[in-house]
Structure 1
Amino acid sequence: MSRINSLSKRVAIVWRGDRQARAEARSETSRLRAVFEALSRHGIAAEAAVWSEDLTGEVRDQLLRVDGVLVWVDPISTATHERRGRLDALLSEVAASGVFVSALPEVAAKMGVKAVLHRTRALGWGSDTAFYETHSAFSLAFADRLAAGPRVLKQNRGNGGIGVWKVERAGAGDGVVVLEARGESAPRTLPLPAFVEERAADFETGGGLVEQPFLPRHLDGMVRCYMSGDRVVGFGHQLVRALAGPEAGPAGPRLYSGPTDPRFQRLRTLMESDWTPGLARTLEIASDALPVIWDADFLLGPPGPEGDDSYVLCEINVSSVFPIPDEAPEELAKTTARRLSAIKAKRLIAAKSDPAEDLQ
């Protein structure tokens, strides 16, 4: 088979940018170069589809002409704080036309929000988590839960540390010490009622608040488990310092490794055999709708009876998972190829039962 004929499927890779970035986008200069190359090795021609709100019409025309769409766009731009609502509407429209999309907006809305921590708390990765859908519910319950010890609050929709706070009592009064995860914010001390009132806006723009206990072992490092569909494709380990005082020192770089890293084989087994299937069942997501690339962040919990580390889920990312381990592009390309082949097979079956079915 010739090289041209082998590239029998077309996939658009979407990321955020302006009109100039769209005009200048090239696979060989993109940060996703390894993804482009891996897709090509599996017979998939990938093209850049740079998106912004004012480019939605052009991108729509492009996406309707391809077989699949892979998305790397954060829910909230860290530069402009713009949200991606128009893109999600576009992706839903494109998916409804028969184009393969990962991650589907409805899947991202289930997995890529902090409420997933509450909905899946019964899995082995869970903790004593609360989800507040309204400001009044938060106002009524938070003070009593804070009495049990320091808590972490997270906006339901966010990324990059936006809308994450550590809150703990400041002595015997009604004061609290609040430390924000994003940037270099210094701790603030203020009355608890004032902090609660500040959070009212989070229910308008952030979709509610999730609350978890602050984990004492957070300085021991975070493990990021990279997934393609329901399979582990690599790990990242990092010394994190968000929600820690300056005395903890600087954060460390995230160090990447492949799925066979011996340090994390217990986590790999749990993710593949138990937690990912449990996630899919709980959220009612078909296994073939799990994103072609996603990750789960874990902090260490108390050691188990055998001395093994336990893992506590603190976030799932599905919208713009990058950087990724060197092994991940090949695996996500395999997953994409399987998904496209499955869609083609379904269309062939439908065509046999209905000769009028359009196979184009």
Structure 2
Amino acid sequence: MKKAIVVFEVEGGSDKTFNGHRKDTMPIVEAIREKGWDSEVVFYRPEWADAIFDYVSKNFGGYISRVNPGNIPGGEKGYFDLLMKLSDQAGLVGMSRPDEMMSYGAKDALVKLAQTDLVPEDTYAYYEVDEFHKTFPKSISYGERVLKQNRGSTGSGIWRVQLADKELAAKVEPGTELPLDTELKCTEAVDNHTEVKKLGEFMDFCDQYIIGDNGMLVDMRFMPRIVEGEIRILLVGPHPVFVVHKKPAAGGDNFSATLFSGAQYTYDKPEAWQDLVDMFADARPVIAEKLGGDNIPLIWTADFMLDDGDNGEDTYVLGEINCSCVGFTSELDMGIQQKVAEEAIKRVEAKA
């Protein structure tokens, strides 16, 4: 067993500090070293892929990926190929492997869970432009929708979409195919800015989210209680570490729960949201079945929104799972890096 874990990063990107690293990378490295293991950072470049494979396969027992897919030079395919080769050929423990990132973290995970109690059944994914243009003019007739691109982060490409004409919205028959010149009010989660676009124009704009590798759009019912806040569970392996209650900035059509958009964050222990934590734990076997396996990511989050149950009680709707590169830069004082080190070492030891 090689008692060493490599942490992958890429150069550049808005998530780096003055020393070239993500703020949460070196704390992980140092926490692993404190436990008597070796750890270091290796930067990925496409032209270095073969050299990185040779070096890492000879010297490490596992890897932790701290790379935002949107920052990968040359696109994600080369990087993902390297990670899979390290796992499948060299036998390293991948945290997380690309197939786990795609299974749990892709937006269409919501569609795969649409037949469960976690996600509304009227949740769809568009993988082809023609499919999107054919279906969305009917989908928007049922009421406000949220469109989510598969790429991006911090709310980029996530749009709240509603009919601009409230009188039309009140009288339109659900299932009606609305004309392409119907005006829409579109609010993007990245900063809560609103644009008025015609339906055809907006769909043409959204084509960019579908075209390309792993392109898709998820079409989901808008949950009005998002104004009360999004509830995020952060987990290290199977263990809930904390819960963040992210309340959007007040006013207008605001619905974004990102810090950049002005949302207010409150950090709680898991016990403060015990019913939600228990519900999510109970749902884990179903999630594993629907998403293709129970290879739990090392660091991951599940975001929920409040909804009204049939009897008036609060229920929770899953809005997103993240596991590609979950950051915890604001929570380093909670000791999460130590929990990450413990879980990573445990996984390498278990495979030895």
* Paired letter, 2:270: P
1:98-109 alignment runs, 5 A limit: 98-109=91-102
- Corresponding residue number in structure 1 for 2:322: 317
- Corresponding residue number in structure 1 for 2:150: 156
SS of the counterpart of 2:142? coil
* Equivalent residues of 1:8, 1:43 under 8 A apart: no
- Corresponding residue number in structure 2 for 1:293: 299
1:310 shift after superposition: 1.5
* Paired letter, 2:207: A
1:70 aligns with 2:78: no
Identity over aligned pairs, percent: 24
The partner residue of 2:39 within 46, 57, 66 is 46
- Corresponding residue number in structure 2 for 1:265: 274
Count of aligned positions: 325
Encode CA deviations 1:219-253: one digit per residue, 9 max, x unaligned.
11111111222332222222134996469996234
* Equivalent residues of 1:236, 1:256 under 8 A apart: yes
1:55 shift after superposition: 4.3
- Corresponding residue number in structure 2 for 1:357: none
* TM score, norm. by length of structure 2: 0.82
1:196 shift after superposition: 1.7
Deviating 4+ runs (over 4 angstroms): 241-244, 246-250
Q: In structure 1, what is the Cα distance between the partners aligned to 2:222 and 2:250?
A: 12
- Corresponding residue number in structure 2 for 1:12: 6
Encode CA deviations 1:46-86: one digit per residue, 9 max, x unaligned.
21122244543443333222100011111213xx9974222
**CA distance change for structure 1 residues 199 and 296 in 2, over 3 Å: closer, same or farther?**
same
Q: In structure 2, what is the Cα distance between the partners aligned to 1:16 and 1:247?
A: 31
- Corresponding residue number in structure 1 for 2:202: 195
* Equivalent residues of 2:230, 2:305 under 8 A apart: yes
- Corresponding residue number in structure 1 for 2:263: 252
SS of the counterpart of 1:76? helix
SS of the counterpart of 2:242? strand
1:129 shift after superposition: 0.7
* Paired letter, 1:315: E
1:282 aligns with 2:276: no
* Paired letter, 1:88: F
**CA distance change for structure 1 residues 200 and 257 in 2, over 3 Å: closer, same or farther?**
same
1:125 aligns with 2:118: yes
1:321 shift after superposition: 0.8
SS of the counterpart of 1:200? helix
- RMSD of equivalent CA atoms: 3.1
Q: In structure 2, what is the Cα distance between the partners aligned to 1:242 and 1:11?
A: 44
- Unmatched segments (≥5 aa) in structure 2: 169-180
Q: In structure 1, what is the Cα distance between the partners aligned to 2:317 and 2:225?
A: 11
SS of the counterpart of 2:69? coil
